[in-house]
Structure formats: C-alpha cells, structure tokens
Amino acid sequence: MPRKPSDSNQPCATALVGFGKIAQGYSQDKVMARVMKFASHAQVLTAHPALNWLTVIDPNPLALQAARQDWSIEDAAESIEACRHRHRIELAVLATPPQARLKEIAAFPNLKAVLIEKPLAKDLKASQELIDYCRRSGIQVQVNLLRRGDPLTRSLKEGRLQELIGSLQCASGLYGNGLKNNGLHMIDLVRMLLGEIASVQALSPTKLEESPMDGDFSFPFALTLAETGKTITFSPVSFKNWRENGLQFYGTNGRLDYLHGGLTVLHYPLSESRMGGGEMEVAHDRPEPIAATMGEALYQIYDNLLAAIHGQTELFSTGHSALLSTAVVEALFASHREGGAVKACRLEGA
C-alpha cells in the first residue's frame, strides 16, 4: 500500500539529492530559458505551492554553497545522514548519477514518494531491485522521463496523433549522445505514443562513442511494436555537429515530425498530388507548426506526483513503465553484442 502523507494540508517536505545541472545548473542557462520555463528541479521546487523544499544533499562543497547562497536552503549537507530534516522528508528527488539510488532512498526513513532522474540505475537488474524496494516499502515512484509530463505529448498519446495523421504506417527517428542516456528518452516516447515493444535489433556493429555515461554509446536499431508488428528504425547522429532526438511519423492521413525532443512539432496534412491522377501527397513543403509545451513538463511531473501522493490520480511516469523502457535498452545492447540478433523485450517477474 502506498504510504500517505502525514498531513495532507501541509506542503510536502522535500529533499533534493544531487545538486548539479538538472538539479539547479540549467536554471542559469539563458538560451534554455527561452523555451524551458522549468529547466531544473530547483525552479519547480521554489515555484510549486504544495512543495516545502527543505534540504539539499551533495558531496561537492560548491554545490552546497550554491544551495545556501542562491536558493536559501539552510539544510545543505554532504550526506543524507548529515542532513537535519532527514526524518521529516516525504519526497526525495534523486538528481544524482545513477550508481547508488537504492541506498539514497533507503537512507530516508519516512519517504512517501521519490522522483528519480533517468536512468533508474546502472543496469536493468539494479533498476528492478530499486523499484521492488519502493513497492515493498509503499514508496511511490515517478521517473523523470520528461515527455510523459508534457501537455502536448500527452495530448498526442490521448488521440491527437491519430486525429492528425490517421493510422500509423511507419516511423523513424534520430538520436545521439548515447542509447542509455538519450536513446532511452526516444524509446520511452515510442512506448508512450505507439504502445509496447515486442522485440529489438541492433542494425550495425558500429558504435558512435559519445555519451556522458560510462559504457554507453549509440548505434542504429529497430524496434518492433507488439500490437501491430510495425518496425520503427532509429539512426544515431553526432552531437558534435548538431543535436537531435526526434521521430517522424507517417500515417494514412499525413505526417507528424516530433523534433528537438518535443520543442518542434510539425504537422503535414495531405494535399492533391502534383503528379496528377487524382492521388494525394504529403504537403512536405507546408508544415503546420504546433505550439510546444515542453517548458511546462517538469512542473507537470511534480504536480502529477503530488496528486498521486494524495490518491487523486495515476502517475504519469511509473517505475514499472521506466523498467520496461530500460529492458528495451538492455535488449538492444544484447543484440549489439550478439551481432544483430533479434531480442525479445521481456521483464523477468513482471
């Protein structure tokens, strides 16, 4: 059973563990600020009225100094054990590297919920242990796979994609900066918009070795959807040239481009084919932009988690769902190791 907050009228006592870029650094990025109203956890933690941000934990003294001076957080400590409010904390936000997240969660004795940065843990086994621990302990888990909180992406999932392009015929995507690091976002997006993935295949033995994560790299791959058997292909691009994480969908009634991780969304309806014969073509030369809402997504991820803590709604991005996306990533690395073998995506014990 999920643990309930001690007093549902009080703002949720919250700790931010790890105080680096996604925790607070991106708040200072003026370029990002043009499109991301909420680029960092610290921005949501200061803006949301139902959150009481009490604590920051980070072993880096400069991060602790920033917490005290820039964000007025007095309880800033180098370890969870050393923080003053450890026993009061109901929500822990884990913006650390993914090596020790289970230990971090277990160090808070009264947690009701965690918001965990992707990836969940260093591999699928450790991710599963983490989610099992939270289930046994009644701790709700929201995973920051950001597009699951984005209002526009949610509307696409809830029928707008079908309304715009009809039934899916095929889709393909680009990604870079590592399969575990960024490819995971695109795989999760495919699952969100198109349904579960039955099997995967690495399409080349090549490796594009760019990623902030150890042992991570990018390669071309294919995903086969469980329900329709349709295949979605992805190609890696080097972020040294330009960055892209995106997907192009072709349906029976047109095309939708979901680009720049959801910051650029373009709809292309059908028009009469210029080759005559009464046929139709996709109006590739006349895209209709759809206003992006990604800047709000992180706020929505918190807002939804707070509502779920009070039993008012389902979570947008559950631990179980993130495990399924992690299993797809792990199956892809296995396929790559085995020279492109087709691998089923199954979660043991699920």
Ligand X SMILES: NC(=O)c1ccc[n+]([C@@H]2O[C@H](COP(=O)([O-])OP(=O)(O)OC[C@H]3O[C@@H](n4cnc5c(N)ncnc54)[C@H](O)[C@@H]3O)[C@@H](O)[C@H]2O)c1
Q: Which is nearer to ligand X, 98 or 173 (CB)?
A: 98
Residue 232: burial class (beta carbons within 10 Å; 0-12, 13-18, 19+): buried
Q: What secondary structure letter does DSSP report for 11?
A: P
Tokens of 9: 């009228």
Is residue 98 a contact residue for ligand X (CB under 6 A)? yes
Q: What secondary structure letter does DSSP report for 4?
A: P
Taking a C-beta distance cutoff of 8 angstroms, is the pair 183, 202 a contact? no
Among 12, 39, 63, 186, indicate the residue that binds ligand X (CB under 6 A): 63
Among 23, 113, 141, 329, indicate the residue that binds ligand X (CB under 6 A): 23
Q: Which is nearer to ligand X, 117 or 330 (CB)?
A: 117
For residue 119, cis peptide bond before it (omega within 30 degrees of 0): yes
Please choose, from the candidates 103, 133, 105, 101, the residue with its C-alpha nearest in 3D space to the C-alpha of residue 118. 101
Is residue 210 a contact residue for ligand X (CB under 6 A)? no
Least distance CB 61 / ligand X (angstroms): 10
# binding residues, ligand X (CB under 6 A): 23
The values of phi and psi at residue 234, to 5°, are -130, 140
Least distance CB 182 / ligand X (angstroms): 9
Among 97, 151, 220, 269, indicate the residue that binds ligand X (CB under 6 A): 97
Least distance CB 181 / ligand X (angstroms): 6
Hey, which residues does 250 pair with through a beta bridge? 170, 255
Among 15, 17, 297, 309, indicate the residue that binds ligand X (CB under 6 A): 17
Give the alpha-carbon dihedral of 155, 312, 144, 46, to 10 degrees. Answer: 110
Is residue 20 a contact residue for ligand X (CB under 6 A)? yes
Secondary element (H or E) of residue 74: none
Which residues within the stretch 116-175 sit at the binding site for ligand X (CB under 6 A)? 117-118, 144, 146
Least distance CB 229 / ligand X (angstroms): 31
Is residue 18 a contact residue for ligand X (CB under 6 A)? yes
User: For residues 56 and 67, what is the distance between their CA atoms, to the nearest angstrom?
Assistant: 7
Least distance CB 11 / ligand X (angstroms): 23
Stretch that binds ligand X, among 53-61, 187-195, 202-210, 267-275 (CB under 6 A): 53-61
Q: Which is nearer to ligand X, 200 or 322 (CB)?
A: 322
Residue 172: burial class (beta carbons within 10 Å; 0-12, 13-18, 19+): middle
Taking a C-beta distance cutoff of 8 angstroms, is the pair 99, 122 a contact? yes
Among 19, 53, 217, 268, indicate the residue that binds ligand X (CB under 6 A): 19
Q: Which is nearer to ligand X, 23 or 51 (CB)?
A: 23
Residues 210, 141, 198, CA angle at the centre, nearest 5°?
60
Please choose, from the candidates 240, 177, 176, the residue with its C-alpha nearest in 3D space to the C-alpha of residue 213. 177
Stretch that binds ligand X, among 58-66, 231-239, 264-272, 280-288 (CB under 6 A): 58-66
Residues 165, 170, 172, CA angle at the centre, nearest 5°?
105
Least distance CB 127 / ligand X (angstroms): 12
Is residue 329 a contact residue for ligand X (CB under 6 A)? no
Site residues (vs ligand X, CB under 6 A):
17-23, 25, 57-60, 63, 95-98, 100, 117-118, 144, 146, 181
